Amino acid sequence: MFKEFSIFTLSNGIRVIHQQYVHSNVCHLGIIVNAGSGDEAENEHGLAHFIEHVIFKGTKNNSAFDILSRIDSVGGEINAYTTKEDTCVFAAFLKEHYDISIDLLADIFFNSTFPKKEIEKEKIVIVDEIQSYQDSPSDLIIEDFERLLFPNHAIGRDILGTKESIKNFTQKDIRSFMHKNYTLNNFVVSSVGNISQKDLKVKLEKAFGSYKVENKKIEKTKIIPAFNFHKTLKKKTSQSHYVLGNSCYSLKDEKKTAMTLLTNILGGPAMNSILNLEIREKHGLTYNIDANYNPFIDAGMFSIYLGTDKKQLDKTVSLVKKELKKLCDKKLNAQQLAASKQQIIGQITLANENRSGVMLSHGKSLVTYDRVDLLSEIYKKINTITSTQIQNIANEIFDEKKMSELIYLNR
């Protein structure tokens, strides 16, 4: 079972969040940095993701082979990811390997040497990754939509960078970005596993406590969205792809929870979402259709994505807009609202069984808000949402005069 999480600070100021889980020997540990591609300068496009790759390529104490083998050789896993606003290095391992995992993550985070030979080799790998990504129009159209919605901010650029930007990165660029963004108040260590807070703190002090980290305020560039663009691009694809969306509420906006619920009702992962039932099940017009809400620190994006045959595109889009108008014109009744709340609470509860996801979400929450809500607090926020709030948000975000569209029209 889970015990309540605890938050504590190491002697050098590093913040830690830990949740003890006593019914499994599988443990999870990560370092979550509140810096991603949205924090890049124009000449740094793709650098946050590039660092995520080369941070594994050797330290003062371990070769690249040692890094990749140390946890894997005892049956664990080590990995990393980059988003628009976060970078994370994390590991999954057995309880008896906490010391190995803590030491290795600390070494990677603080002692990476970024060998020039490895930097050049990884540029080739990432260019291949960029080319692979460009073969996925359903992913690419969302990135293009973000670029058009946030045209004057790094948050609108794709995470991977371009072939041209990648080839110019140097050791100096890497160290400069990390010095600017990997500051004491801008990252946390997060843990979920069968270990007490007392024992974990001793181990973390030993591995992390000797490092001095600068503590300075980071000024984020304000995100200013564009509005009401309608663009069609001809593409060599098997079907047409379509995105309809708008700028939306930020991570810190009080409307965030209600917007999350509304998005889940409209086009969340459940098979009974409005768009899935109406567009796919009733009319058979598409295989893939969903709605997404991606909040950032001071902005957000709501989007609906679908792929369909070019001959069916106009009809499909018309039906989507019809469903949006229904949510604007008519409140959910008490039964619909209650069922929607129960559904998302169930989804959150199930997701909380994924201990790796818990570790990452705890770290993200602490580094973003300087706090982590209990599940009971999250459920309370959901249960206080009214049908009037849902309707008001629908009218604000689904206003057709403010919505934007991007179409990949297959040739």
The DSSP code sequence of 233-288 is EEE--SSEEEEEEEE---TT-TTHHHHHHHHHHHH-SSTTSHHIIIIIIIT---S-
pLDDT of residue 50: 98
Q: Is 126 within 8 Å of 166 (Cβ atoms)? A: yes
388-402 mean pLDDT:
97
Q: Which of 339, 267, 333 is nearest to 306 (CA)?
A: 267
| Assigned token pair, 249 | 């509420």
Least confident stretch, 25-34, 61-70, 301-310, 329-338: 61-70
Q: 95-123 pLDDT, tens per residue?
A: 999 999 999 999 999 999 999 999 999 99
What phi, psi does 142 have (nearest 5°)?
-65, -40
Q: Please report how many Cα atoms fall inside a 13 Å half-sphere around the Cα of residue 168, on the Cβ side.
A: 10
Q: Pairing relation of β-strands 187-193 and 15-20?
A: parallel
Residue 350 has pLDDT above 90, yes or no: yes
Two domains, one topology: 6-208 and 230-410: yes
Confidence of residue 3 (pLDDT cuts 50, 70, 90): low
Confidence of residue 1 (pLDDT cuts 50, 70, 90): very low
For the entire predicted model, the pTM comes to: 0.93
More confident call, 135 vs 303: 303
How many whole angstroms separate alpha carbon 291 and alpha carbon 289? Answer: 7
pLDDT of residue 267: 97
35-49 mean pLDDT:
96
Confidence of residue 20 (pLDDT cuts 50, 70, 90): very high
pLDDT of residue 219: 80
20-27 mean pLDDT:
91
Residue 220 has pLDDT above 90, yes or no: no
The domain defined by 6-208 folds into Cytochrome Bc1 Complex; Chain A, domain 1 (3.30.830)
Average pLDDT, the chain: 95
Percent of the chain having pLDDT more than 90?
91
The domain defined by 230-410 folds into Cytochrome Bc1 Complex; Chain A, domain 1 (3.30.830)
Q: 358-384 pLDDT, tens per residue?
A: 999 999 999 999 999 999 999 999 999
pLDDT of residue 218: 81
pLDDT of residue 65: 92
Q: 154-199 pLDDT, tens per residue?
A: 999 999 999 999 999 999 999 999 999 999 999 999 999 999 999 9
Q: Which of 189, 197, 187 is nearest to 19 (CA)?
A: 197
28-52 mean pLDDT:
97
pLDDT of residue 408: 97
What phi, psi does 368 have (nearest 5°)?
-90, -45
More confident call, 4 vs 393: 393
What lies within 8 Å, CB to CB, of 226 at 6+ separation is 148, 149, 150, 151, 404
Which helix (H) or strand (E) element contains residue 242? Answer: strand 240-247
Strands of 65-169 (E only): list them.
Answer: 77-82, 87-94
Residue 201 has pLDDT above 80, yes or no: yes
Using N-to-C axis directions, what is the helix angle for 98-111 and 197-208, rounded to 10°? 40
pLDDT of residue 60: 94
Domain boundaries, the chain: 6-208, 230-410
pLDDT of residue 133: 84
- In b/e form, how buried is each residue of 271-307, taking b as 16+ CB within 10 angstroms? eebbbbebbbeeeebbeebbbbbbbbbebbbbbbbbb
272-291 mean pLDDT:
96
Q: Is 335 within 8 Å of 341 (Cβ atoms)? A: no
